[in-house]
A = this chain, B = another copy of it.
Amino acid sequence: MIFTVRRSRLQVLLIERGNQPYLGQPALPGGFIRDGETLDEAALRELSEETGLDGRTLHLEQLRAYSDPDRDPRGRVITVAYLALGPDLPLPVAGTDAAAAHWEPVSSALADDTSLAFDHAAILRDGLERARSQLEHTTVAAAFCPEPFTVGDLRRIYEAVWGFSLDPSNFRRKVTRTEGFLNPTGERRSSETGRPAALYRRGAASLLIPPLLRSGEVSS
């Protein structure tokens, strides 16, 4: 399950199924583990086969196992779902399975419960919740930002994943106060409008202390 933020919306990579069952329906990319491979390695390999992306440059974590005996009509298949987060990624290379891959906003993928193949809607819901929760306690949000990035870029990641607006000044204070979250480059970037913003790169810290909780939402 590969997430990115494009045009201020959280999007997920879906493929169109080329085989039965669920022929032609969108699904999460995936595949089978091989002998001698860990699940982490299999996830990285599938990621690269289906999208051409080098998984070592993005955040990858295990979500959980799905084991309903009827989840695949062909027979017993247990899936261990993985979550990958990356910056606004290039459209997938037309690889073997990737021909029909495309980005879709998570909200629209979840709008109709039966639009995704298998139990992928449930997996996607779990992954969305995990991503939202991870933003509170870790610095993974920076994995969504192409470097260098501004505090505003980072804030728009949080807003896209959480689905509501944050107070820019309070957000700024919180992330700049957390030691090791942002490394200042000393450079600035001008956009079409407004004052130029300071540029940062990802810091070494991976945990957010104190956490950045999503309780304080502002009417979007």
Q: Does A8 belong to the interface (CB within 8 Å)?
A: no
A40 and B69 alpha carbons, distance in the complex (Å): 11
Q: What range describes how many residues of A lie at the interface?
A: 10 to 19
Closest to A81 in B: B65
Q: Does A58 belong to the interface (CB within 8 Å)?
A: no
Which residues does chain B contribute within 8 Å of A65, judged by CB atoms? 39, 62, 65, 80
Interface of A is mostly: loop
Which residues does chain B contribute within 8 Å of A38, judged by CB atoms? 67-69
Closest to A68 in B: B38
Q: Are B62 and A39 in contact (CB under 8 A)?
A: no
Which residues does chain B contribute within 8 Å of A76, judged by CB atoms? 35
A33-B67 contact in complex given A39-B78, A78-B39, C-beta closer than 8 Å:
yes
A35 and B76 alpha carbons, distance in the complex (Å): 8
Q: Does A186 belong to the interface (CB within 8 Å)?
A: no
| Seed contacts A37-B69, A65-B65; 4 additional CB < 8 Å A-B pairs | A33-B67, A39-B78, A40-B67, A65-B80
User: 15 A-B pairs, CB-CB below 8 angstroms?
Assistant: A33-B78, A35-B76, A36-B69, A37-B69, A38-B67, A38-B68, A38-B69, A39-B65, A39-B67, A40-B67, A62-B64, A62-B65, A64-B64, A65-B65, A67-B80
